Structure 1
Amino acid sequence: MASGIVDLAYVLPSGTARVEDLSRSSGLPADQIQRITVTPEWPVLAPGEQPWDLAIRAARTVLDRTGVAPASIGKVIYAGSGEWEPAFWSPAAKAADALDIRAAHCLEVVNFCNSASPALQLAADETALNRSEYVLVLLGDRLSQLVDHEDPESKALFNFADAAAAVLVGSRRSEFEILHTALRTDASWVDYYSADREDFVTLVRRRGRRSGLRQAYLKNLAELVDVTLGSLGRSRADVARLLINQTDRTMHEELLDDLGIARERSVFNYHRYAHQGPADTFIALADLKAEGRLDPGDLILLCTSGVGFSWGVTALEYRPHSD
């Protein structure tokens, strides 16, 4: 039984980060920071906002729009970095309680900004095997709060922003059939980033100066794209859209060039939102659908990545249904 995305939505926070503020706090020139962020300002959590609350709002939109009853949801998956507040706590269960989902299994998937791919794979397997009628996947992190904006050495992370998304997966009424997911980790990069606890605040730090991460990104994503296409009997020329985490625009462009996929077949949101963590690809997908920029039968690849370092590619086929 085929499984797919029934509907999806995202919510942006109400706060704003600005290059000029980061320049003052870090002592770095504003133009140097904007080469990383691309945009002069981007959405972040305001004081008192929580990513799981944004995810709940996105989920309500999806459930209201589809008319799916909470009792039909058999699993709630919350995916992201694991750095949620409070600690030692389940944002998936919090969301289920707020949404009146009473009989579902709630769990978290922690694979950092790559979390969307394994979460979607788990949801697809769950519904394809008829273990659940629907699975609700929620994504949301507080990435901007994990960066020391006073540390010039952390500048590569200054584009970290915040948002949340909700994705409803099911075997009926889906508009994006989930065709295949491929995942891998190059564990030799495991210690490249880790976090310190400083005065009860978690801050991510780069460890050492090892080179080659860019090449690892390009190699692993390109290979996973080919593995995915090969499993489907398709070619790179068949890809209608390739959507990727918005971490580095030049690397994004280089990957497209290496694959021979025109840049017009991707989405660049750096100038709007900076890097929205695991929600990046779903923000792009939701906008493409809302703007009518997809055609029936389009083959869409969602490419994700996260510290560890892990990569994932999920293939979707757009099959809009008529109401």
Structure 2
Amino acid sequence: MSAVLGEPADSARAVAEGRFSAEEVTRTRQRSARVSDRPAPDLAADAGRLALKRAGRDPREIGLLIHANCYDQGVSFWNTASYVQREVLGHGDATAFEIRQMSNGGMAALELAAVHLSAVPTLTAALLTTADRFGEPRFPRWSADRGLVFGDGGTAVVVSRTPGRLRLVSTATYSEPSLEGLHRGDDLHHPPADPVAPLDLQARKRSFLQDVPVAETIARNEAGMLTAVKRCLEHAEDDVAGMAFVLVPFFGADLSHKQCLDPIGVPEERTLLDYGLGVGHLGPGDQFAGLSHLLDTGRLAARDRVLLVGVGAGFSWTCAVVEVAHD
């Protein structure tokens, strides 16, 4: 498991340059965001190579590669997953998929990999990668949306049949397609006049909320997430109190509490909220980056369990419980 992140860009400087508002600083508590000038696929490839090295895996052992992202990968009409496959694995005895589950992509890839490993006897290991680079000015990372700031980085996880540092205990997914318009607005039938204008996710949400009340949107969002969480914990025969940590997307402080922490009922100290406030939202990679951080900093003990919560525009939620291996 690995994370390759951009360099920290200070929020105060973004405010001084007029790219981030003082109001949003107070609301999000975001200290910095990771920024990279490298293409997203290269961040994924770097993370993939590092994950294989840490897992002690030969690239020839990988029979499945799933690459998840939620933004432009640098080239149109192109298979990013095949690029990562060439760069990291270097062989053709693997199936490479690129998936677009938005910010739920990493978690969806984890569940898909588990299903493949269960169903295909000849498949012994899979490599999951995520990467996004929210390059300005096309993507104004500090102001494209309210309540969160976007960060650049790649992550990777090796999933296999053989025991490793972590054991996948359970997964669960739920979706609420009635909310897909929240990130679409009316762009599908009324394309913007300037296709290269900076993205404005706030405008799309305002368009959607003209027809769907805010309270109803919040209720559907919360119900969908909690459905996935509860099913995942039931499959694990555990509860939130039994989790050493609960990892949710790297949203700003206010949004994290309202959309995730408060509904689940978990305090900040059992999350990586503070870590995320120095990283920014990595798209589909927050949970893998967070889990990598916990392992790298020695904050997990044998038999500790961690609940990973994925939230993606669309809307979809994939959750997983993982357990630290014992000696």
For 2:91, the equivalent position in structure 1 comes to 101
Structure 1 residue aligned with 2:101, among 108, 111, 130? 111
Name which of structure 1's ranges 204-213 and 222-231 shifts more when overlaid on structure 2: 204-213
Cα deviation for residue 144 of structure 1 reads 4.7
Mapped to 1, the partners of 2:200 and 2:64 lie a distance apart of: 31
Q: Kindly state the Cα deviation for residue 151 of structure 1 after the two structures are TM-superposed.
A: 10
Counterpart in 1 of 2:269?
264
Q: Distance in 2 between matches of 1:185 and 1:32?
A: 32
Number of equivalences: 309
CA apart distance, 1:17: 6.2
Q: 2:133 aligns with which of 129, 138, 142?
A: 142
Aligned to 1:3: none
- RMSD over aligned CA atoms reads 2.7
What corresponds to 1:133 in structure 2? 124
Letter in structure 2 aligned against 1:301: L
- Counterpart CA distance in 2 for 1:307 and 1:256 is 18
For the pair 1:55 / 2:56, whether they are aligned, the reply is no
Shift, 1:52, TM fit: 1.1
Unaligned runs of 5+ in 1: 1-7
The answer to whether the 8 A contact 1:72-1:133 is kept is: yes
Which amino acid is 1:124 matched to? A
Partner residue, 1:189: 179
Q: Answer yes or no: is the 8 Å Cα contact 1:76–1:105 preserved in 2.
A: yes
CA displacement at 1:253 relative to structure 2 = 3.2
| Partner SS for 1:203 | coil
SS in 2 for 1:247: coil
What are structure 2's unaligned runs of at least 5 residues? none
The 8 Å contact of residues 148 and 280 in structure 2, kept in 1 or not, is answered as no
Structure 2 counterpart SS, 1:221: helix
What displacement does 1:109 show? 1.1
Q: Please point out which of 274, 287, 291 is paired with 1:285.
A: 291
- By how many angstroms is 1:138 displaced? 0.4
| Residues 184-242 of structure 1: per-residue CA shift (max 9 Å, x gap) | 22111111113767454672533226213444333322222111112232223222211
How far residue 251 of structure 1 moved from its aligned partner, in angstroms, is 3.9
Judging changes above 3 Å, is the alpha-carbon distance between structure 1 residues 251 and 42 closer, same or farther for their aligned structure 2 residues? closer
Query: Does residue 12 of structure 1 match 2:17?
Result: no
Which segment is superposed worse, 83-92 or 216-225?
A: 216-225
Distance (Å, rounded) in 1 between the aligned partners of 2:175 and 2:139: 26
Q: Secondary structure at the match of 1:78?
A: strand
Q: Which amino acid letter does the alignment assign opposite residue 110 of structure 1?
A: R
SS of the counterpart of 1:101? coil
Q: Which moved more, 1:68-77 or 1:57-66?
A: 57-66
User: After TM superposition, which residue ranges in structure 1, 4 or more long, deviate above 4 angstroms?
Assistant: 144-148, 199-202
Name the CA distance, whole Å, in 1 between partners of 2:128 and 2:94: 12
Deviates more, 1:188-197 or 1:264-273: 188-197
Q: Higher strand proportion, which one?
A: 1
Q: Tell me which residue corresponds to 2:241.
A: 237
Question: Over residues 126-182 of structure 1, what are the superposed CA-to-partner deviations in whole Å (9 max), with x where a residue is unaligned?
Answer: 223334111000001123548653996x44176011111011110113222212221
Q: 1:209 to 1:110 in 2, by over 3 A?
A: closer
Whether the aligned pair in 1 keeps the contact of 2:248 and 2:287 (CA below 8 Å) is yes
**C-alpha contact (below 8 Å) 2:107/2:318 kept by paired residues:** yes
How many Å apart are 1:281 and its aligned residue?
1.1
TM-score by length of 1: 0.85
Provide the residue aligned with 1:294 in structure 2. Answer: 300
Distance 2:69 2:111 in 1: 15
TM-score (norm 2): 0.84
